[in-house]
């Protein structure tokens, strides 16, 4: 079994390929997951993370290009703003309106979105998606990517958000219907997804216990722990739960394979993430 502590022994030389990430705060998990994967396959890669302000985004991207980075991950609040700094955007990322993965392809910077891939793959590990009724909570960037993914897999989606107009707008873009968050209790579902930040670092739960339907699939994109308040509540009612770290894992798999051209060692990456 791979020991994540081994990543501290990474050696860097003039052949090392550098991959990075940019966000409002430095990522702890990105380097942990990816460096574990590189070392397990004997790849001469190194993953590093950077805290970048909104005003510093253009300079950060230019710096990565100048330093020869193979690519970089993009987290909030830069997923939309980075688009204008790229040479090309994948059609799916353009449709979603956000980029979370950038790769150098020759002299070009090309943007992709793997948020929807991470969410869909995590759900498909526990259920089929076609014709499932999905209650999606939230209408921000993550919800938008997930709504796109669900639309591609034949789901019947109800989007509920504190701002009902944003839910309606999102439903108009990708199909389904939109409503206010307080209306969520009125809708039946097979799959419930919390695509908001409610529960991140707190014991707050986005729904009342009466909203949890026994036997449903419940996914929470909050990834700061395996069992958020929502998932604990769902588990107590016999639901199939999908923790947010699963979405994070499969996003990392996408970028790893894009940057390296190698099949990702998923078991190693998940072990590093959980440790």
User: Strands, DSSP E only, in the chain?
Assistant: 17-23, 45-51, 71-74, 88-89, 101-105, 108-112, 133-137, 156-161, 177-180, 191-194, 217-220, 240-242
Q: Does one domain contain both 97 and 82?
A: yes
Provide the residue range defining the domain that includes 78. 4-113+247-274
Give the pLDDT of residue 11.
67
pTM check: above 0.75: yes
Q: Does one domain contain both 107 and 169?
A: no
Give the pLDDT of residue 2.
40
Which residue has 């980029």 as its token pair?
99
Give the pLDDT of residue 10.
57
Q: Does one domain contain both 226 and 122?
A: yes
- Mean pLDDT for back-to-back runs of 10 residues, the chain (275 residues): 45 88 91 96 96 96 96 93 96 95 96 96 96 95 94 96 96 94 94 93 91 95 90 96 96 97 97 90
Q: Dump pLDDT digits (tens) for 19-76.
A: 999 999 898 899 999 999 999 999 999 999 999 999 999 999 999 999 999 999 999 8
Q: Does one domain contain both 26 and 133?
A: no
User: In the numeric block, which tokens belong to residue 229?
Assistant: 């308040």
Domains contained in the chain, number: 2
Q: Does one domain contain both 270 and 219?
A: no
Q: Does one domain contain both 160 and 218?
A: yes
Q: Does one domain contain both 44 and 69?
A: yes
Q: Does one domain contain both 60 and 138?
A: no
Q: Does one domain contain both 236 and 252?
A: no
Q: Which amino acids are annotated catalytic?
A: 79
Terminal alpha carbon distance of the chain: 12
- Around Cβ 24, how many Cβ atoms within 10 Å? 12
Q: Dump pLDDT digits (tens) for 185-202.
A: 999 999 999 999 898 888
Domain holding 73: CATH number? 3.40.50.10860
Phi first, then psi: give them for residue 31, nearest 5 degrees.
-60, -40
Domain holding 225: CATH number? 3.40.50.720
């Amino acid at each position: 079994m791979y020991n994540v502590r081994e990543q501290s022994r990474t050696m860097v030389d003039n052949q090392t390929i550098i991959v990075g990430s940019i966000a409002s705060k430095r990522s702890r998990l990105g380097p942990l997951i990816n460096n574990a994967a590189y070392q397990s396959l004997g790849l001469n890669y190194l993953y590093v993370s950077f805290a970048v302000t909104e005003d510093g985004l253009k300079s950060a991207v230019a710096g990565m290009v100048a330093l020869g980075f193979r690519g970089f991950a993009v987290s909030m609040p830069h997923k939309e703003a980075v688009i204008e700094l790229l040479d090309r955007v994948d059609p799916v990322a353009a449709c979603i309106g956000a980029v979370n993965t950038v790769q150098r392809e020759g002299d070009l910077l090309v943007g992709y979105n793997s948020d929807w891939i991470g969410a869909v793959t995590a759900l498909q590990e526990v259920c089929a998606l076609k014709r499932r009724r999905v209650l999606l909570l939230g209408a921000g960037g993550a919800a938008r990517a997930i709504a796109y993914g669900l639309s591609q897999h034949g789901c019947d989606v109800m989007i509920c958000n504190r701002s009902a107009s944003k839910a309606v707008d999102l439903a108009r873009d990708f199909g389904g219907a939109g409503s206010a968050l307080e209306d969520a209790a009125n809708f039946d579902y097979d799959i419930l997804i919390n695509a908001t930040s409610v529960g991140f670092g707190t014991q707050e739960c986005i729904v009342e216990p009466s909203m949890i339907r026994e036997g449903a699939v419940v996914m929470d994109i909050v990834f700061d722990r395996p069992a958020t308040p929502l998932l604990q509540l769902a588990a107590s009612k016999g639901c199939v739960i999908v923790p947010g770290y699963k979405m994070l894992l499969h996003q990392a798999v996408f970028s790893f394979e894009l940057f390296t051209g190698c099949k990702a060692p998923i078991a190693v990456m998940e072990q590093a993430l959980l440790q």
